[in-house]
A and B are shown apart, each in its own frame.
Chain A
């Protein structure tokens, strides 16, 4: 049986660790990896009239930047590794969107890095790792 792993990736150091772990897991078990990048976005945020006018254009630019700067290097890097790699690029709330990607892709598990914050900041803002562990439809692995 081939496993499908969704790995949350934003180009950070911890995300790279999560990616490495996913790749080694996929290699060992003969699975595939979906590299998922989420652009934080709320439809309930407030914009100025000028920002509204330019939103469609900016969205295009943001997607292109994410594609070339974040996802493409990963795909290139893994092209010779022998495992099947695909990407997912979405706007939304990070936790909810990762769960949705896992569901849509029919993935078996989600792997993410962690930011290493603890204490006050996490108490106030919550952490992606923590809320994902609560909300995910599939097992979640958090890589230090």
Chain B
């Protein structure tokens, strides 16, 4: 009898201990299932392929837009590149405007919103599904996307609202309403509302859940598995303190550390590439081979292309409209100058940083290839390439960097958390701008959005990567659908600004101050 009690006394806590993680896991599982069910229809609509093909219409939509802007503005991204640098350096800024938002500051803030997990985790997803060839299409999409960004940011500044108290608000909602009215086009207001709805979803998806999700993945990668909702609650708490509690100091520290982290990330990648200098030729060979043959990846060449374009758009947000919100605050008399500056954004984000990530993953041999056929080996589901140690997303990037510098795992973990955090802060602002556009300004209304935003941090950290990344992509691309229609309608205005500016630049009316 005594033994029986003792056995029971041991058994009860043991059962409790065993059931606690199970309960936690099932909470994650419930959030995950519920989320996947609730968003599935939206995701399948955005990514539905052209009838009879596997090619999603949304990818074609983005690529065609970027191509049209590139042609319409006569390869502006290459022609204006030196002038863009000159503007960022402040060569054309009036010294009497010192103390106002500079081109550099607008660019840096917009960049800290886009340089995030898309560059680290997103690229890993792209090459593990689309193979090295995805990198080629990603770079191409980045270069073309510069023209989209140029168009939207010029309009963002041109049609921003400047209030009596000196604050400014800008973004696609404003050029849709004011720009459409100016050209006598209908439906401007309707599009602005639609855009705002998608912008809120995008802010909650790619700007929030995807970030929380991958930050959690990175932390577990370093400290071991534990339930996602714990990370979610901690993150949500900090975000809450910043956006609701007005704890600006945290945001300010992040804003200062993020650029340093970004530079460090690129430098480390460069060092790894130099250490494997003899492989760089091979890596580019793989990228080209994969870009045009597919090299065995799911969906072949088209699969590589879709992944490359998708991840580029998700990372640099060209054509999405978010950057137009961030760039609107700059002090300039010429809206087009901000367009020039903003075209550097996809270049830095995609052509430089994303490419670095992809090259490091390829060069350190993370993707497993069958040496006899030259084809990449696919995992059981035949959707992704097998990787060394079966890593996915941010864990794959981490493994690639750690194979050269084991300690980099920890630095990357910190970088990922900071990137995730700064992206969340930026997107909470974009989302809030869309929210106040829809519902009007006011403390309570703004608080409602901010609280919803924090709840989604928890959901994002708990859900698994698949549904989160699908929803994030879908929401951000939905913004692009509306925004690009507006850009088509308003691009003659940008053209007019461009011609006028260039003639005044040539005549010397617009000159350097230094």
Contacts and interface: CB of A to CB of B under 8 A. Distances in A.
Interface stretch (A8-16, A20-28, A54-62, A115-123): A54-62
B248 interface: yes
Interface string B97-113: 01111101110110011
A77 to B, nearest CB: 26
A44 B109 contact: no
Nearest to A57: B166
A52 interface: yes
Nearest to B331: A56
B109 A54 contact: no
Interface stretch (B29-37, B230-238, B249-257, B451-459): B249-257
B98 A43 contact: yes
A46 to B, nearest CB: 4
B167 A53 contact: yes
Nearest to B103: A43
B429 interface: yes
Contacts of B168: 53, 56
B326 interface: yes
B179 to A, nearest CB: 20
A43 B425 contact: no
Contact of A49 (B102, B109, B258): B109
B98 A46 contact: no
Nearest to A49: B429
Nearest to B111: A46
Given A41-B99, A49-B109, A52-B106, A60 B259 contact: no
Contacts, number: 86
Contact of A47 (B101, B165, B169): B101
A45 B105 contact: yes
Contacts of B165: 57
Given A43-B90, A48-B248, A49-B426, A91 B98 contact: yes
Contacts of A52: 101, 105-106, 109, 326, 329-330
B93 to A, nearest CB: 7
Contacts of A50: 248, 251, 429
Given A46-B108, A49-B109, A52-B109, A60 B101 contact: no
Interface in B300-320: none
A60 B98 contact: no
B109 A46 contact: yes
A39 B258 CA distance: 26
A90 interface: yes
A55 B90 CA distance: 17
B59 to A, nearest CB: 29
Contacts of B255: 46-48
A49 B326 contact: yes
A43 to B, nearest CB: 4
Interface centre among A39, A51, A52 (most CB of B within 10 A): A52
A43 B90 CA distance: 8
Interface centre among B98, B100, B102 (most CB of A within 10 A): B98
Q: Can you list the 10 inter-chain pairs with the closest CB atoms, starting with the nearest?
A: A57-B166, A91-B99, A43-B102, A91-B98, A52-B329, A49-B429, A46-B255, A56-B166, A59-B99, A55-B101
Given A52-B330, A60-B166, 12 more contacts: A43-B90, A46-B109, A46-B259, A48-B248, A48-B255, A49-B430, A52-B101, A52-B326, A53-B168, A57-B166, A63-B99, A91-B99
Interface of B: 90, 93, 95, 98-102, 104-106, 108-109, 112-113, 165-169, 248, 251-252, 255-256, 258-259, 325-326, 329-331, 425-426, 429-430
9 contacts: A41-B99, A43-B105, A46-B109, A46-B252, A50-B429, A52-B101, A53-B329, A56-B167, A60-B166
Interface of A: 39, 41, 43-57, 59-60, 62-63, 90-92, 100
